[in-house]
């Protein structure tokens, strides 16, 4: 008779998997992907190295899962900020999403570098493209309400521009987060022909 896992064993397996993901996430946030070697992840999670590979066939698979979970949290935060902006102010929603993107990146600089620019395996790079598309979709919806004649094109340009503009400041601890986030927001709104009509909710 074939082995059939019980609810208890499945729950234990899921908990171990999440512990591995959480350990990798913490190491990446502290030192990037290079610091998150499988042996270090296993030690932080309190499991054997072989256990990590039972849940993730390769380090790239593990990193892709970490990237998915972290990037979704960041996109959700920007979306929530946009949704919290006053009704009827499309520019305010766009500003809230952009400023939240920038502020959160500057609060967790090493993690943001890993999300935006650190050289990664192709499997993780594929997740990065999905991450960028999610932001572009969020910005495009706000731009369509501004209105902007080319919301999808402008949204993709915003995502690329924000990522590029943040690369240098993420490497410097002296960059003023408030000043930079405000500057990026004002520049972007000006570039797409929108006026800041309300303070963003962060």
Confidence of residue 176 (pLDDT cuts 50, 70, 90): confident
Higher pLDDT, 136 or 202: 136
User: What is 29-62 written as a DSSP string?
Assistant: HHH-GGG--HHHHHHHHTS-HHHHHHH-SSHHHH
Q: What is the CATH number of domain 1-56?
A: 1.10.10
Confidence of residue 145 (pLDDT cuts 50, 70, 90): confident
**Residue 10 scores a pLDDT above 80:** yes
Domain spans, the chain: 1-56, 64-202
pLDDT, the chain, mean: 90
pLDDT for res 112? 94
Residue 136 near residue 124 (C-beta atoms within 8 A): no
How do residues 95-133 score in pLDDT, each as one tens digit? 999 999 999 999 999 999 999 999 999 999 999 999 999
Can you identify the CATH homologous superfamily of domain 64-202?
Tetracycline Repressor, domain 2 (1.10.357.10)
Structure tokens at 104: 């959160």
**Residue 149 scores a pLDDT above 70:** yes
- Calculate mean pLDDT across residues 43-58: 96
CA dist., res. 167 & res. 2, Å (int): 53
- Percent of the residues in the chain that have a pLDDT greater than 70, as a whole number: 93
pLDDT for res 3? 54
Confidence of residue 174 (pLDDT cuts 50, 70, 90): confident
Confidence of residue 199 (pLDDT cuts 50, 70, 90): very low
Q: What is the pTM of this model?
A: 0.85
């Amino acid at each position: 008779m074939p082995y059939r896992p019980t609810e208890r064993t499945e729950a234990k397996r899921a908990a171990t998997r999440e512990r591995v993901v959480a350990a990798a996430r913490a190491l990446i946030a502290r030192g990037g992907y290079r610091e998150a070697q499988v042996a270090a992840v296993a030690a932080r999670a309190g499991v054997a190295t072989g256990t990590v590979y039972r849940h993730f066939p390769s380090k790239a698979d593990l990193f892709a899962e970490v990237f998915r979970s972290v990037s979704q949290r960041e996109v959700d935060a920007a979306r929530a900020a946009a949704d919290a902006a006053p009704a009827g102010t499309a520019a305010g929603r766009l500003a809230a999403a952009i400023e939240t993107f920038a502020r959160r990146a500057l609060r967790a600089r090493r993690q943001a570098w890993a999300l935006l620019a650190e050289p990664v395996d192709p499997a993780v790079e594929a997740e990065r493209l999905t991450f960028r598309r999610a932001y572009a979709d969020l910005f495009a919806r706000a731009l369509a309400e501004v209105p902007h004649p080319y919301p999808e094109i402008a949204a993709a340009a915003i995502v690329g521009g924000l990522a590029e503009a943040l690369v240098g400041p993420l490497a410097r601890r002296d960059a003023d987060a408030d000043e930079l986030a405000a500057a990026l927001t004002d520049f972007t709104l000006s570039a797409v022909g929108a006026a800041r009509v309300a303070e963003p909710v962060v």
